[in-house]
Amino acid sequence: MLTIETGEASMVGISVADNGPGHPAGAICQKYSNRSLPLRKGGTGLGLNIVRHIVESHGGTIIARNRTEATGAIFIVRLPVKLS
């Protein structure tokens, strides 16, 4: 599921959610701080760190958590709107 919101004039929010098993407790925080810690077999452990770096380099934030209303994870990216 992909959701795009423009609630604030200065920010745009993009949410990406799935229906998978979610993340073990504490694993998302570890993933942010340890680039060599894959959460699944066959992963390199770099994906979330690369996304975080790109988002933060554009002045945005990313929040990763398990969904509360259903199974799965949700990633919320907020980026500033830059009008020319």
pTM over 0.85: no
CB 45 within 8 A of CB 38: yes
Q: How many domains would you assign to the chain?
A: 1
Whichever domain contains 48, its CATH number is 3.30.565.10
C-alpha to C-alpha distance for 36 and 16, rounded to whole angstroms: 23
Instruction: Give pLDDT tens digits for 3-51.
Output: 777 777 788 888 888 888 777 765 665 555 555 555 556 666 677 778 8
Please count the residues of the chain: 84
